[in-house]
Amino acid sequence: MDYVRLDGDALTLVFTCATGGAADLLYIGARLPEGEDLVALATAAARGRHESQPDQPPRPGLLPERKAGWSGAPAFRLVDLDNPLAGEVPTDFRVHQWDVSERELWIDWQDERLGIAVNLWWRIRSGDVVSVTCDAVNVGENSFRLVDQPALVLPIPHRFSGMTTFSGRWAGEMRKTQRAIAPDGYAAATGTGKPGFGGGNWLVLDDPTSGEVLGAHLAWSGDYSTRIECDMQGQGDGRAVLQMALGGGAAGIRLNSGTDLDVAEAVFALAPDRTALAQSLHAYLRAEVLPDRPTWSPRKVHLNSWEALGFNLSEEGLIALAEDAASLGIERFVLDDGWFGGRRNDQTSLGDWHVSLDVFPNGLAPLIARVHALGMDFGLWVEPEMVSPDSGLYRANPDWCLHQEGRDRPTMRGQLALDMGRSEVCDYLFERLDALLSDHPIAYLKWDHNRDLFPSLPRQTEGFYALVDRLRAAHPHIEIESCSSGGGRIDFGVLSRVHRVWPSDNNDAIERLRIIRAWSQFLPLEVLGSHVGPSPNPITGRRVAMDFRAKVALFGHMGVEADPALMNEQERATLAAHIALYKHWRGVLHSGAFYRLDQPDPGIFAQLVTDGAKALALVAQTTFSATFDAAPIRLAGLDADAFYRVTLPEPWPGKARHYLANPESWRSGITLSGGAMMHHGIALPLTHPETAWLIALERLPQ
């Protein structure tokens, strides 16, 4: 038995590896001192055998199998395609060789009888995020079908007894559920070809005694299968194992003789609390996932035409909207749905990616020229992976969509999905998108995906990834947003290819606070599109004051998705002031460390971002408070011994401003220590719903 130790900045992983046998995770937690005796660590972790176990107590380890009595699911569930009726094939994977280099462990397992080799890599990356990747090579004679394709097997330390998972629906993404891991464990899977509105392949394990958390995620934009099996019924040892896998769906995943699988990846991070977990994942995403993140220019303020004009498009109307947008300080004008083919409503023309001459008799050129003359750049909405039955593309190629021969072709939002496993489909889409980007100076694509994938077919996600990669290679300066009716396809797989995501179609600022709080647990603000919508909100019907809408939108990649012509003078002035504030603060908001500020009042959402020298906090009350005087807002992430100049940036919220004590001091600024603000806090009027304050800090030289 060998012991392998990997150290991150604040993390240690210790593994046991037995050549010819198994591999397991012995320790995962805060960094251990140099010189820790790993044999003693194993001695301290060992368990004596109890009555109801096999004579050799089974350990699922890093590659669970059934061979020795483990009652949970094996990582590799294989069906021999020459003998499919025999059911799943028993496996006997043994560690063949392993290697360790700085921050990385590689293990090669083999089942010699089946002729399958499995490669597993555990790597400690930026932010101490652990990336686990897995592939399999079939060097044997037989071909197999995998039920799911494993990415991560994580033996869960006993201290994590609770978990938080996320589910959601259209316009209501990322609702969290908290539950105990024992006795039933957890199982969740999608079958609609994408992660879905729960971004469901995120989960957080909780240690309720210390507050420590472990956040895990499958970096994949297709179906997933996540399960935690907890042995409380059989041998009763309480051992729990998390498995994250690419979902194989009804067809499973083929592992033909002489082939290998694409590598599947999952990530996880361990942190003392939820803020530290967010920071760790943000650091990893910024350093290693987002495409060319260090070269990004400041995130431009968008105006998106969707909630301003819908399908009511004309060159004249769009130019008027662009002029209005520019007068507010907008920097990018995004033309949403409705610009192509016969697309005058959502039941037609997907696939016909030609500029509609009905809407734009002179093409897009005059609009783009005006947008540029106004000092903005231009973005365009597309939904490449889809086709409307009522379209030239469908009429010419009725077999290009996902379908089963001779069966109905049920639509969703009036549309079908293209088969991205067919090269002629991807070539057509590339040709159209490439032509659009070559013929027009387009800086940004909003890449939408508004339908579940059924009947499901393999290789949809690979086809999508390959198309985006090909387009980005041909047009390296294009920025892309991933949208899927809002947040239906948000994960680290897509985020390695795009520059931002659309977290929700729901722009209602009160809903957005909850949604952004959930996404920001995993994603930094610069990738989270955040728009000021109309009032009343078209989805919730709620009327929300501009001051509140604008302050909430500022904490993300800010934009406007409303028609300024329908705003009164005061609303326009308030919006313009917040756009200016966003421009002033985006450098901090989009590179700094994110802090969740927990409040005793459940109606208050508070967060802060700091780059060390400056900090900006948002504090927002969503309900009518039980008390007049909310508990002072305690900040975080400051140097306790440093002094800061503190202001409350204006404009101030309409009603609450009358309850603010010492307004002149807040306007000109007061000096407080980091310690005073972190331990005691700042008293703010937060009684009324839709009250939001910004708190600005500037560290003073010592």
* By CB under 6 A, residue 529 contacts ligand GLA: no
Cα–Cα separations (whole angstroms), residue 371 to 312, 315, 377, 529: 19, 11, 6, 21
**By Cβ distance, which residue is nearest to ligand GLA?**
337
- The sheet carrying 23-30 orders its strands as 2-7, 11-17, 23-30
3-state helix, strand, coil in the chain (%, to 5): 25, 30, 45
CB of 278 to ligand GLA, least distance (A): 25
CB of 701 to ligand GLA, least distance (A): 45
* By CB under 6 A, residue 485 contacts ligand GLA: yes
Which amino acid, one-letter code, is at 603? G
Number of C-alpha atoms within 13 angstroms, CB side, residue 178? 7
Cα–Cα separations (whole angstroms), residue 30 to 12, 127, 133, 208, 212: 6, 13, 22, 17, 10
- Catalytic pick among 231, 448, 491, 547: 448
Q: Does residue 469 carry a catalytic annotation?
A: no
x/- track of binding to ligand GLA for residues 440-479 (CB under 6 A)? --------x-x-----------------------------
CB of 692 to ligand GLA, least distance (A): 24
Helix locations, 555-647, DSSP H: 569-589
Helix H, strand E, coil C: the string for 72-118 is CCCCCCEEECCCHHHCECCCCCEEEEEEEECCEEEEEEEECCCCEEE
Stretch that binds ligand GLA, among 147-155, 229-237, 402-410, 482-490 (CB under 6 A): 482-490
CA 576 – CA 550 distance, rounded (Å): 9
x/- track of binding to ligand GLA for residues 570-609 (CB under 6 A)? ----------------------------------------
Binds ligand GLA (CB under 6 A): choice among 128, 336, 390, 563: 336
CA 16 – CA 25 distance, rounded (Å): 6
* By CB under 6 A, residue 625 contacts ligand GLA: no
Interface with ligand GLA: number of residues (CB under 6 A):
12
Closer to ligand GLA by CB, 448 or 547: give it. Answer: 448
Helix locations, 356-422, DSSP H: 365-373, 392-396
Closer to ligand GLA by CB, 274 or 499: give it. Answer: 499
Closer to ligand GLA by CB, 60 or 488: give it. Answer: 488
* By CB under 6 A, residue 481 contacts ligand GLA: no
* By CB under 6 A, residue 197 contacts ligand GLA: no
Closer to ligand GLA by CB, 140 or 487: give it. Answer: 487
CB of 437 to ligand GLA, least distance (A): 19
* By CB under 6 A, residue 486 contacts ligand GLA: yes
CB of 307 to ligand GLA, least distance (A): 8
* By CB under 6 A, residue 483 contacts ligand GLA: yes
| 517 Cα distance to chain centroid | 12
Closer to ligand GLA by CB, 27 or 197: give it. Answer: 197
Number of H helices, E strands in the chain: 14, 35
* By CB under 6 A, residue 505 contacts ligand GLA: yes
CB of 381 to ligand GLA, least distance (A): 5
CA 38 – CA 28 distance, rounded (Å): 13
CB of 379 to ligand GLA, least distance (A): 12
CB of 451 to ligand GLA, least distance (A): 10
CA 702 – CA 700 distance, rounded (Å): 6
CB of 294 to ligand GLA, least distance (A): 29
Q: Does residue 505 carry a catalytic annotation?
A: yes
Binds ligand GLA (CB under 6 A): choice among 337, 352, 419, 563: 337
CA angle 307, 311, 314 (to 5 degrees): 105
Strands of 305-396 (E only): list them: 332-335, 377-382, 386-387
Closest to 562 measured CA to CA, from 529, 536, 530, 532: 532
CA 393 – CA 382 distance, rounded (Å): 15
Closer to ligand GLA by CB, 28 or 313: give it. Answer: 313
* By CB under 6 A, residue 80 contacts ligand GLA: no
Closer to ligand GLA by CB, 15 or 502: give it. Answer: 502
| 405 Cα distance to chain centroid | 35
Binds ligand GLA (CB under 6 A): choice among 76, 284, 333, 381: 381
Helix, strand or coil for residue 6?
strand
Closer to ligand GLA by CB, 135 or 337: give it. Answer: 337
* By CB under 6 A, residue 273 contacts ligand GLA: no
Binds ligand GLA (CB under 6 A): choice among 306, 360, 492, 652: 306
x/- track of binding to ligand GLA for residues 400-439 (CB under 6 A)? ----------------------------------------
Other Cβ atoms closer than 10 A to 509? 29
CB of 331 to ligand GLA, least distance (A): 19
CA 667 – CA 656 distance, rounded (Å): 15
Query: Concatenated DSSP letters for 436-450?
Result: HHHHS---EEEE---
- Sign of the alpha-carbon dihedral angle for 303, 304, 308, 313: positive
Number of C-alpha atoms within 13 angstroms, CB side, residue 677? 28
Closer to ligand GLA by CB, 491 or 505: give it. Answer: 505
Closest to 61 measured CA to CA, from 26, 14, 11: 26
- Catalytic pick among 505, 508, 547, 563: 505
Interface with ligand GLA (CB under 6 A): 306, 336-337, 346, 381, 448, 450, 483, 485-486, 502, 505
Mind telling me the catalytic residues? 448, 505
